[in-house]
Amino acid sequence: MNSSKDVNAGLKMTTNKTIMIKYAIERTIRLAFNTIGLDLHRIRPDISSSDKLSKSLFHFNIDTVFDVGANIGQFARSLRQAGYKGRIISFEPLSEAHEKLREYAKDDSDWLIHPRAALGDNNGEFNINIAGNSVSSSLLEMTALHLNSAQDSGYIGTEKCTTQTLDSIASKYITSNNNIFLKIDTQGMEWEVLNGAVNTLPFIQGVMLEVSFVELYSGQKLWKEMIEHLEIEGFSIWSIDQEFTDQKSGKTLQCNVVLYRP
């Protein structure tokens, strides 16, 4: 019977042989490209958007994240997986999604769930349109372009929800000593959220928002006006990640843009 030492030696020889074969193949391919005047280089994959964001939160010493438009907590969970350990305050207007959000956050003492509400530019009540895929739900009407690009996003009903401004509730969660990051993913209502945060925005260090290059929700503000507004407020673009693409044409429809104060 072979000893474990012999087995390990055999595995090592096999591994070394595999590496040598792989190297020989790569060298042959590289030489083939060189003969026609081309050079071949290995491209290092970029870090994920979550890791990139987590690094920026650490860079700016962010200790509090407002997660506006949380759905069932996908964004907050991705931050935790990427290593962010600060406080997260999540906001979600849909009752079913809000319940799942509370369930995901129940064992995380630094992940707070605000009572069910949509953030906007006024305090009141509104009917929110419920999308078939949940994440595309909005207070605004969906355009045909959006529906054609994501057919599972069609509205299947409505639900009454409370609307609040960030200014009216921010003091419950933050002090002037906090370094705050504001994430807004509200399906066309990003402008209204910012308008409801006029007094809070000066205390915010960074913003991440979903910007649209075409009108996906009726009456929404598009990317240029959104970015210019935040630049006037003192923010500069830090990173951009593609978010929503038309699967038929390949056209980019939305991006997530992260901005910080210098």
- Output the tens digit of pLDDT for each of the chain's 262 residues: 545 555 455 545 555 565 566 555 656 655 654 566 555 555 455 678 888 999 999 999 999 999 999 999 999 999 999 999 999 999 999 999 999 999 999 999 999 999 999 999 999 998 998 999 888 999 888 888 888 877 788 898 999 999 999 999 999 999 889 999 999 999 899 999 999 999 999 999 999 999 999 999 999 999 999 999 999 999 999 999 988 888 788 889 999 999 999 9
147 in the same domain as 122: yes
127 in the same domain as 40: no
Q: Does an H or E element contain 145, and which?
A: helix 144-149
53 in the same domain as 40: no
60 in the same domain as 38: no
59 in the same domain as 166: yes
Which residues on neighbouring strands pair with residue 255, listed in sequence order? 211, 242
The confidence score (pLDDT) of residue 148 equals 82
238 in the same domain as 123: yes
Q: 5 is in which domain, residue-wise?
A: 1-44
Tell me if residue 262 falls in helix, strand or coil: coil
147 in the same domain as 19: no
25-33: which pairs have CB atoms within 8 A and are 24 or more residues apart? Answer: none
DSSP state, 49?
H
The confidence score (pLDDT) of residue 246 equals 82
The confidence score (pLDDT) of residue 121 equals 96
Residue with tokens 């407002």: 66
Query: Measured in Å, how far apart are the chain's first and last C-alpha atoms?
Result: 68
Distance CA 90, CA 190 (A): 15
Q: Judging by beta carbons within 10 Å of its beta carbon (0-12, 13-18, 19+), is residue 229 exposed, middle or buried?
A: middle
**Number of domains into which the chain is organized:** 2
The confidence score (pLDDT) of residue 7 equals 44
214 in the same domain as 151: yes
Spatial neighbors of 33 by CB under 8 A, at least 6 apart, are 39, 40
